[in-house]
Amino acid sequence: MYHAKKIGVFISHIFGVYQQGVCQGIIDKALEYGYTAEIFTSLDGENLGAYEVGEECILQIPNYESFDGIIFASDTYISSELKQNILNRLNSLPCPIVEIAVSDNHFPAVSLENNSMAATLTTHFLTKHHASRVCYLGCLEEPGFSGMREKHYLEALKKAGKTAGTNDIYHCKYDPSDVKDALAFFCQTTPPEAVVCYNDRLALLFLAAALLAGYRIPEDIAITGCDDTLEGQNTSPMLTTVTFPVYELGVASVENLLTLIHGGSLPSVFLLPAAPIFRNSCGCQSAENINAVFFMQDLSQRIATLENSILDSMNMSSSLQYITDLDSGMDLLEQFVLQIEHCQEFYLCLYSDWDSLSSHILALTNHEEHKKDTDTILLKFALKNGRRLPECSYRKTNLLPDYIYDDSDCAYIYMPLFFEDRKFGYIALAYEDNQIDCHFRLVQWQMNINQMLQGIYEAKRTGMLVSHLEEIYMKDALTGLYNKHGYNHLEDPLLSRAISDHLPLTVFMIDMNGLKKINDTYGHKEGDFAIRILGQAIESTAKEGDICARFSGDEFYILTAGLSEQDAQNRIESITSYLQNYNKLGTKDYPVSCSCGYASTYPAPGFTSENVQELFAAADQMMYEVKRQYHAQNG
Residues of the chain predicted below pLDDT 50: 1-3
Q: Which pLDDT score, from 0 to 100, does residue 483 have?
A: 94
Q: Is the dihedral of CA 413, 309, 227, 201 positive or negative?
A: negative
Task: Find, among 597, 566, 575, 576, the residue nearest to 504 by Cα.
Answer: 566
Q: Are 198 and 227 in contact (CB under 8 A)?
A: no
Q: Is the dihedral of CA 465, 467, 470, 471 positive or negative?
A: negative
> What Rg do the C-alpha atoms of the chain give, in angstroms?
39
Q: Which pLDDT score, from 0 to 100, does residue 1 have?
A: 42
Q: Which pLDDT score, from 0 to 100, does residue 53 have?
A: 62
Strand runs labelled E in 390-468? 392-395, 412-419, 422-431
Tally of CA atoms within 13 A in the half-sphere of 136 that contains its CB? 27
Q: Which pLDDT score, from 0 to 100, does residue 253 have?
A: 97
Round to whole Å and give the CA distance between 534 and 379.
Answer: 49
614-619: long-range pairs with CB below 8 Å, 24+: 615/505, 615/507, 616/507, 616/509, 616/557, 619/507, 619/508, 619/509
Maximum distance among all alpha carbons in the chain?
Answer: 127
Q: How do residues 468-513 score in pLDDT, each as one tens digit?
A: 788 888 999 899 999 999 999 999 999 999 999 999 999 999 999 9
> Exposed (0-12), middle (13-18) or buried (19+): which is 629, by Cβ within 10 Å?
exposed
Which helix (H) or strand (E) covers residue 52, if one does?
none
Round to whole Å and give the CA distance between 352 and 350.
Answer: 6
Give CA angle at 424 (419, 429), nearest 5°: 105
Round to whole Å and give the CA distance between 476 and 160.
Answer: 93
Q: Are 448 and 316 in contact (CB under 8 A)?
A: yes
Tally of CA atoms within 13 A in the half-sphere of 280 that contains its CB? 15
Q: Residues with Cβ < 8 Å from 240, sequence gap 6 or more?
A: 121, 222, 223, 224, 225, 276, 277, 278, 279, 280, 281, 282, 284
Burial annotation 507-545 (CB, 10 A radius, 16+ → b, else e): bbbbbbbbbeebbeeeeeeebebbbbbbbbbbbebeeee
Round to whole Å and give the CA distance between 393 and 374.
Answer: 12
Q: Are 425 and 349 in contact (CB under 8 A)?
A: yes
Domains located in the chain, CATH noted? 6-111+316-461 (no CATH), 115-242 (3.40.50.2300), 484-634 (3.30.70.270)
Task: Find, among 550, 530, 548, the residue nearest to 539 by Cα.
Answer: 548
Q: How do residues 304-356 score in pLDDT, each as one tens digit?
A: 776 777 777 777 777 777 888 999 999 998 988 888 889 999 999 999 888 77
- For the chain, the 3-state helix, strand and coil shares in percent, each to the nearest 5, are 45, 20, 35
pTM score, whole prediction: 0.77
* Distance of alpha carbon 570 from the chain centroid: 57
Task: Find, among 607, 598, 408, 580, the residue nearest to 503 by Cα.
Answer: 607
